[in-house]
Amino acid sequence: MEITASAVKELRERTGAGMMDCKKALSETGGDFEKAMEQLRKKGLADAAKKSARIASEGLVHSYIHGGGRIGVLVEVNCETDFVARTDNFKEFVNNLALHIAAANPRWLGREDIPAEDLEKEKRFLTEQALESGKPAPVVEKMVQGRLEKFGKENCLLEQPYVKNPDITVQDYVKQMVSEIGENVRVRRYVRFQLGEGLEKRSTDLAAEVAQLQGA
């Protein structure tokens, strides 16, 4: 069957894969859009897996300011060569990641970065919530596990739906870049600043300390 340019374009927009890869996937799946997407996803995963062990020590440290100076992000993204790091394609990719961090405010990079005490605290809260339903213990346990999974997806950068294409995660977007440039890519670290963040809490804490001193 004939593969139209509009179908190739739509598949590229939804997956981030190259035009030729999209056309090939559609041809091999008889124009089935969903099967073509799955084929491209598997190819991207395979390509990324092959390159994940390679050293990525080049890259960019990029700053992004949003909302007239109210939100700022500093992110480091690594690749393998300085040549790739200087390309417009890679720079746009890093900027998109910074934009996502500004918009989605992830608390951690990956699930392995969640402090054990924070995870335990969340688990206790979710368990208390689930017990209120009055359901049996095995059901409560499944409810808690499901909600913990959701907690990770909502708060870990690599697991969040990518803001410019919610059909994929940030990790999928990284893997697409790996497939596109042929190098290992790693989001190493980031920090997000929001104007006035934490000031109200510090003011409240200070007031409590002052009251405590006055009563001493």
Say how many C-beta atoms besides its own lie within 10 A of residue 26's C-beta: 24
pLDDT of residue 87: 94
State mean pLDDT over 129-150: 84
Signed CA dihedral, 170, 172, 173, 175: sign only:
positive
16: left (phi over 0), alpha (psi -120 to 50) or beta: left
Amino acid at the residue 117: E
Q: How far apart are CA 26 and CA 35, in angstroms?
A: 8
Amino acid at the residue 133: S
Q: How far apart are CA 164 and CA 151, in angstroms?
A: 21
Contact 157, 101 (CB under 8 A): yes
Q: Residue 113, CB half-sphere, CA atoms under 13 Å: how many? A: 14
Residue 209 pLDDT class (50, 70, 90 cuts): low
Range with lowest mean pLDDT among 111-115, 153-157, 195-199, 204-208: 204-208
pLDDT at 39 over 90: no
Terminal Cα-to-Cα distance of the chain (whole angstroms): 84
Please report the domains of the chain, with CATH numbers, ordered by start residue.
1-51 (1.10.8.10), 115-153 (1.10.286)
pLDDT at 190 over 60: yes
DSSP 2: -
Q: How far apart are CA 131 and CA 135, in angstroms?
A: 7
CA angle 106, 108, 109 (to 5 degrees): 100
Helices (H), ranges, 16-87: 19-28, 33-51, 82-85
Phi first, then psi: what are they for 70, rounded to 5°? -90, -25
Counted residue by residue, the chain has a size of 216
Range with lowest mean pLDDT among 25-34, 79-88, 159-168: 25-34
pLDDT at 52 over 60: no
Closest among 10, 162, 154 to 96, alpha carbons compared: 162
Task: Label residue 202 exposed, middle or buried (CB < 10 Å: 0-12, 13-18, 19+).
Answer: exposed
